Amino acid sequence: MFQQQLIQGLAIGSVYGLIGIGYVLIWNAWGVLNFAQGEIAMIGAFSVLMIHVWLGIPILLAFPLAILLSMAIGYFIEITSFRPLVKADNTRKLIATIGIGIFLRNLYRVIFGADPYPFPTIFGDTPFQVGKLLIIPQNIWSLAIGFGLVVLLGLFLKGTTMGKSMRATAQDREAALLMGINVKGSLSMTFILASGLGAIAGMLMAPMYFVMADMGVMMGPKGFAVAVLGGLESMTGAMIGGIVLGILESLGAAYISSAYQSAIAFFVLFIVLVFKPSGIMGSKM
Amino acid sequence: MRHLYKKYKVILILIAALLLPVFVDNPYALHVANLAGIFAILTLSLNLLTGCTGLFSVGHAAFYGIGAYTSAILTVKLGLPIWAGFIAAGVVAALFGLALGLPTLRLRGLYLAVATLAFGEIMYQVFVNWEAVTNGTKGITGVPAPQIGPFLLNSYRSYYYLILVVLVVVVVLSQNLIKSRVGRALLAIREDQMAAEAMGVNSTKFKVIAFMSSAFFAGIAGSLYVHEVRFLSPETFISAESAAILAMMVVGGIGHIPGSILGGIALTVIPEYLRSFGDLRLVLYGASIVIIVIFVPRGIGGAIDFVDELISGTRSLKKTKQRSRVKEV
Amino acid sequence: MLKRSFALAVVLVMIVSLFAGCSQKPAEGTAEPIKIGTVGPLSGGAAMVGDTQVKGIQLAIDQFNEAGGIHGRELVLIQEDDEQNPAKSVSAMNKLVHNDNVIAVIGTVNSSATLANMEVTKEAEVPQITAISSNPKITLAGNPWIFRLQASDTHQCEAIVNYALDELGLERIAIMYQSDDYGTGGKDVAVELLQARGIEPVAVEAYDPNAKDMTAQLLKVKEGNPQALIMWTMYQQGALIARQARQMGLSDVVLMGGGGLTNAKLYELAGDAVVGLLNSQTFFPDKENASPVAKEFIEAYEEKFGMLPDSNAAMSYDSMLILGEAMKAAGPDLDNVAIRDAIAATTNFPGATGVINIDENGDANRDMLIIGVTGDGGYEVVWQPE
């Protein structure tokens, strides 16, 4: 059972990780924790629900379309709520994201109703056996996509001009401005990218966990914890943080108590922070 | 005129607060007023920790809950008198404040925030699952109404006065704390901990003081809550509540005492006011938080300061216009 | 500066108007509508239940109004959201009772919220019916103003446990429950009942009501090699558990639960994984085999809302019917004590959820059915008392 629990932990962990990566991106560029990242994932799930299930567009096309739709919505959020706060201090930005989260999940509930929507499985959810272990294809895809995105994003950020502008802006906004970098554009781009990531996370969650306005509520704080656990500096860190949290939850439920499942995970998180105050992969402050 | 204003403005506000229940008859309004008072106290407590000392806490509902449960358990299960439960609520919460403050001394900024988030989550799970002590999700019923001498405070109106008294006491204590050497040390730590330490400030001691006093007041608020609603269950202390309290502090004005009170009142009253908007209530609530944060940069407290300065004559509109002409870099 | 003053002014206006608005007296006039209040979770994780509660009540109200109202007056429903939170439920109830001056309240859904808010109606002496809360404590608190239409956890659990042990002859039973008042209540009763029969459950696992992934708990359940899994949860998580149970290799285990699982959506969400799932119910959601009252209700509900009702909708409907009849019996001045007594005296009332008798505690316990999900997603009666 131990190995099976590990695998299950890996599966949910990769979803946490994807959301955590969104946190890291926005943190590094904007200096703010987007507590509405869970809702961004929810928007992604609804986007693909509308495009694939309601409009009937085949999944291969629906996926990228949904990502674009989510990015557009993300851009809209950025203009209305983040841009005005560019010069504000971090605590105010954080509270704004909390307000945005409340706004979005209730807006979607009013529009789409409170009932969950089923979503057809994309990657297959019947498990196949490897020895004594049951592996669900969906979960492998989550992991693969998660790490794949980390690699792709890394290449994008280091290799392309746009990516380099984003990194420069994140490192030192004033210097970037002086260098002639389009700071506004880079900031927007970072947000759009993070929205796309969140959307992908949501789309991976949709077939597993149904689509409902409330689906981001748990993901928000967990994504935050995961990003910080990973050190807030690297996307790989966030991914690893996500997996660690997922495994902690699984094993905690299995061997200690299912009722205290998330408490155990958070307790270990707490201990880690006490002993390594800058997170698992963070550098010294 | 301005002289009188400066001298008597606090007394005027107090008189208005005392007279509120005389003019407002409706138990619903009084109940909301009581909740507003309780959240004002909570926001003040968080302000001590996050606003004044810069220790970012996203798990404050935990202390609120610890105070509430201590009070409820002592009065309902052990039959102790209410004032004992009240004091114990603050003390036990303060002890937990110590328990959280000590291990997290080395943590800064966001890492501390996550640690407090973890603490909040853990406490919530304990409230939910430790049924032997907290009754878990079934809740504790039959919490008695407070009795002060011959007065049985079993109506929202009478309880209002108790909350008002406690609020005033908390405000006075907070003000004194902030104006004292302790308060200056806390502010120094907020601005630059290393510099403060270089000046000889024992940051460990003061951080712990911040945690404990903040937790104490939050615990007191928890006790007040329990005797207002007369029922206690864990859902009141989910991490969304901690986020709400943080929002109240920011909306009110970070580090600002009147601001914290107004922030607590505003974010308690607004969702109730929005009930007339039916289904859109929470949509508008979320939007109102964003709007206030964007358009009122120094929080409601800052806006009040502005009005206050205008009236007292320490600021004139002309100067403001000149200042705003300077372009921001 | 303008922005700041503007925002400040808005906040001040809102605060003042809240308090001012509260003191307004309703306008005097002839044929003033009768206000009925309802509290429920209209947002958050249980919003779908709050939603069906409102729909059930509204259908009954519309039917009363079409028949000319009660005492010549139209009925009007005022709904408030309590976000599943007991403290907010108290606020919502206060508003309904003291601000809107409703005649009676139907609500709320979550037992802990009901336990909190029934203090308000007790204090104000306003009749309250909870259609959906299932915690036994509600009617045992010595509060004469609260009534309950849902079959309590004790009844529902007894029915399903007895069926498992007596009719199916099972011995190895696992329990999974959502860690809130609903799930914990059911779990407590189930464990007690099993132990009273000398059986120890092979696994008892909890999960967060908002959790999406219960595979860790299911793996532990699997270790116990159960024959049946009783899940005390709502249909949304029931669907998740059913699917994940299949994925974890628990396909041969009989899935069972209480009323919370009954909903057409269950099959829609989980598909084949829930075929054969059994639960205890008073309301049988199938037009073909339902009682005449239930059949009419299902048809009317479907026509009005475009979807099939579940038991929560049915119980909310019945609550309003009973309240309406009580208001009729109380006479045109709608005295609160008269209404309360009329509700308490309800006997042999033909409701959509069965024949209802209100007992001395205010409970409406009646015969439980065991229903099962059929291969095409419909329901069939698997067992009923003689």
Q: How confident is the prediction along chain A (285 residues), in pLDDT tens digits per residue?
A: 788 888 888 888 888 888 888 888 888 877 778 889 899 999 999 999 999 988 888 888 988 999 999 999 999 988 888 888 877 777 888 889 999 999 999 999 999 988 899 988 877 777 888 888 888 888 888 888 888 888 888 888 888 887 787 777 777 777 878 887 777 888 888 888 888 988 898 888 888 888 999 888 888 788 888 888 888 878 888 888 899 999 988 888 888 888 888 888 889 888 988 888 776 666 543
Indicate the residue of A110, A224, A232 with minimum beta-carbon distance to B283.
A110
Test A285 with B108 for CB contact under 8 angstroms: yes
Per-domain residue ranges of chain A: 2-119+134-275
Q: Residues C159-179: what's their mean pLDDT?
A: 92
Return the minimum-mean-pLDDT range out of A32-36, C16-20, C352-356. Answer: C16-20
Residue B227's closest CA among A204, A201, C119? C119
How open is the CA angle B90-B92-B93, to the nearest 5 degrees? 65
**Fold category of A2-119+134-275 in CATH:** ABC transporter involved in vitamin B12 uptake, BtuC (1.10.3470)
Structure confidence by residue, pLDDT tens digits, B271-294: 999 998 888 999 999 999 999 999
Ranges of beta strands (E only) in chain A are 128-130, 133-135
Structure tokens at B157: 């109106």
Residues B194, B174: Cα–Cα separation, whole Å: 25
Q: What pLDDT does residue A189 have?
A: 86
Instruction: Tell me the CA distances in angstroms from C127 to A102, A186, C105, C336, one per residue in order.
Output: 34, 60, 7, 7
Test C265 with A5 for CB contact under 8 angstroms: no
Test C220 with A253 for CB contact under 8 angstroms: yes
Structure tokens at C355: 């024949």
How big is the A-B interface in CB pairs under 8 Å? 126
Q: What pLDDT does residue A285 have?
A: 37
Q: What pLDDT does residue C9 have?
A: 53
Chain-centre distance for alpha carbon B268: 11
Residue B207: Cβ-neighbour burial (10 angstroms; 0-12, 13-18, 19+)? buried
Residues A208, B244: Cα–Cα separation, whole Å: 30
Sheet holding C104-106, edge to edge: C75-81, C34-40, C104-106, C128-130, C146-148
Test C22 with B231 for CB contact under 8 angstroms: no
Structure confidence by residue, pLDDT tens digits, B70-109: 999 999 988 888 889 999 999 999 999 999 999 998 888 8
Q: Which residues of C touch B295 (CB under 8 A)?
A: 3-4, 6-7
Residue B320 has pLDDT above 70, yes or no: no
Residues C180, B124: Cα–Cα separation, whole Å: 12
Structure confidence by residue, pLDDT tens digits, C101-115: 999 999 899 999 999
Question: Which residue of A5, A7, A115 to mutate against C (max C Cβ within 10 Å)?
Answer: A115
Test C181 with B128 for CB contact under 8 angstroms: no
Chain-centre distance for alpha carbon B123: 19
Crossing angle of helices A2-30/A161-171, nearest 10°?
80
Indicate the residue of A33, A96, A270 with minimum beta-carbon distance to B110.
A33
Test C216 with A258 for CB contact under 8 angstroms: yes
Per-domain residue ranges of chain C: 34-151+289-367, 154-281
Closest CA–CA distance from residue C47 to any residue of chain B (Å): 11
Question: Which residue of B28, B305, B307 to mutate against C (max C Cβ within 10 Å)?
Answer: B28
Closest CA–CA distance from residue C13 to any residue of chain B (Å): 11
Residue C25 has pLDDT above 50, yes or no: no
Q: Which residues of A touch B108 (CB under 8 A)?
A: 277, 285
Higher pLDDT, B177 or A168: B177
- What is the chain A residue with the closest CA to C207? A259
Q: Which residues of C touch B42 (CB under 8 A)?
A: none
Crossing angle of helices B203-229/B156-179, nearest 10°?
170
Q: What pLDDT does residue B43 have?
A: 95
Mean pLDDT (chain C, rounded):
88
How open is the CA angle C177-C182-C187, to the nearest 5 degrees? 45
Do C311 and C320 contact (CB within 8 A), yes or no?
Answer: no
**Residue B328 banded pLDDT, cuts 50, 70, 90:** very low
Test B35 with C180 for CB contact under 8 angstroms: no
CATH number of the domain within which B90 lies: 1.10.3470
Question: Which residue of B155, B159, B241, B275 to mutate against C (max C Cβ within 10 Å)?
Answer: B275
Residues A31, B293: Cα–Cα separation, whole Å: 16
Which chains, if any, share at least 3 CB pairs under 8 A with chain C?
A, B
- What is the chain A residue with the closest CA to B284? A103
| CATH 3.40.50.2300 fits domain C34-151+289-367 | yes
Do B286 and B243 contact (CB within 8 A), yes or no?
Answer: no
Residue B38 has pLDDT above 70, yes or no: yes
Question: Which residue of C3, C4, C42, C43 to mutate against A (max A Cβ within 10 Å)?
Answer: C43
Indicate the residue of A1, A217, A250 with minimum beta-carbon distance to C210.
A217
Sheet holding C278-281, edge to edge: C203-207, C173-178, C228-232, C254-257, C278-281, C369-373, C379-383
- What is the chain B residue with the closest CA to A223? B114
Would C34-151+289-367 and C154-281 be classified into the same CATH topology?
A: yes
Residue A200's closest CA among A261, A129, A144, A131? A144
How big is the B-C interface in CB pairs under 8 Å? 143
Residue A42: Cβ-neighbour burial (10 angstroms; 0-12, 13-18, 19+)? buried
Question: Which residue of B13, B25, B26, B156 to mutate against C (max C Cβ within 10 Å)?
Answer: B26
Which chains, if any, share at least 3 CB pairs under 8 A with chain A?
B, C
Closest CA–CA distance from residue A157 to any residue of chain B (Å): 24
Closest CA–CA distance from residue A128 to any residue of chain B (Å): 35
C interface with A, Cβ–Cβ below 8 Å = 42-45, 47-48, 50-51, 179, 205-208, 210-213, 215-217, 219-220, 222-223, 236, 239-240, 243, 247-249, 265, 268-269, 271
Closest CA–CA distance from residue C137 to any residue of chain B (Å): 9
Residue C5 has pLDDT above 60, yes or no: no
- The domain of B126 spans 2-328
Look at residue C379 and give its three-state secondary structure. strand
> What b/e readout covers A70-102, taking b as 16+ CB neighbours within 10 angstroms?
bbebbeebbeebbebbeebebbbbbbbbbbbbb
Structure confidence by residue, pLDDT tens digits, C261-279: 888 889 999 988 999 999 9
Side-chain-facing half-sphere of B198: CA atoms under 13 Å = 5
Backbone angles phi, psi at A128, to 5 degrees: -115, 155
Helix H segments across B48-108?
61-72, 82-101
Look at residue C67 and give its three-state secondary structure. coil
What single letter denotes the amino acid at residue B107?
Answer: L
How open is the CA angle B132-B136-B141, to the nearest 5 degrees? 95
Structure confidence by residue, pLDDT tens digits, C69-95: 999 999 999 999 999 999 999 999 999
Q: Which residues of A touch C43 (CB under 8 A)?
A: 106, 109, 114
Longest dimension (CA), chain A: 60
Residue C16 has pLDDT above 60, yes or no: no
Q: Which residues of A touch C236 (CB under 8 A)?
A: 116, 210, 212
**Residue B261 banded pLDDT, cuts 50, 70, 90:** very high
Question: For C154-281, CATH number?
Answer: 3.40.50.2300
- Residue percentage of chain C with pLDDT more than 90: 60
Q: What pLDDT does residue C354 have?
A: 85
Model-wide pTM > 0.80: yes
**Residue B131 banded pLDDT, cuts 50, 70, 90:** confident
C149: left (phi over 0), alpha (psi -120 to 50) or beta: alpha
Test C205 with A258 for CB contact under 8 angstroms: yes
Helix H segments across chain C?
2-22, 47-66, 86-94, 111-124, 153-162, 181-196, 215-223, 235-247, 264-270, 292-305, 311-330, 336-344
Look at residue A117 and give its three-state secondary structure. strand
Looking at the 3D structure of chain B, how many domains does it have?
1
Residues B252, A92: Cα–Cα separation, whole Å: 11
Q: What pLDDT does residue C322 have?
A: 95
How high is the ipTM of this complex? 0.87
Q: What pLDDT does residue C17 have?
A: 54
Question: Which residues, other chains included, contact B181 with Cβ-Cβ below 8 Å and sequence gap of 6+?
Answer: none
- What is the chain B residue with the closest CA to C90? B229
How big is the A-C interface in CB pairs under 8 Å? 98
Q: Which residues of A touch C50 (CB under 8 A)?
A: 114
Q: Which residues of B touch C94 (CB under 8 A)?
A: 27-28, 31-32
Q: Which residues of A touch B290 (CB under 8 A)?
A: 81, 96, 99-100, 103
Test A277 with B107 for CB contact under 8 angstroms: yes
Indicate the residue of C14, C91, C137 with minimum beta-carbon distance to B138.
C137
Helix H segments across A213-260?
219-229, 235-255
Residue B323 has pLDDT above 60, yes or no: no
Higher pLDDT, A214 or B119: B119
Question: Which residue of A210, A257, A266 to mutate against C (max C Cβ within 10 Å)?
Answer: A210
Look at residue B25 and give its three-state secondary structure. coil
Residues B43, B246: Cα–Cα separation, whole Å: 7
Q: Which residues of B touch A273 (CB under 8 A)?
A: 104, 107, 111, 114-115, 118
Residues paired with A129 in a beta bridge: A134
Q: What pLDDT does residue A56 have?
A: 87
First to last CA, chain B: 40
Q: Which residues of A touch B289 (CB under 8 A)?
A: 95-96, 98-99, 102
Backbone angles phi, psi at B34, to 5 degrees: -60, -45
What single letter denotes the amino acid at residue C100?
Answer: D
Question: Which residues, other chains included, contact A198 with Cβ-Cβ below 8 Å and sequence gap of 6+?
Answer: A18, A19, A22, A37, A38, A40, A41, A43, A44, A70, A74
- What is the chain B residue with the closest CA to C88? B236
Q: What pLDDT does residue A5 have?
A: 86
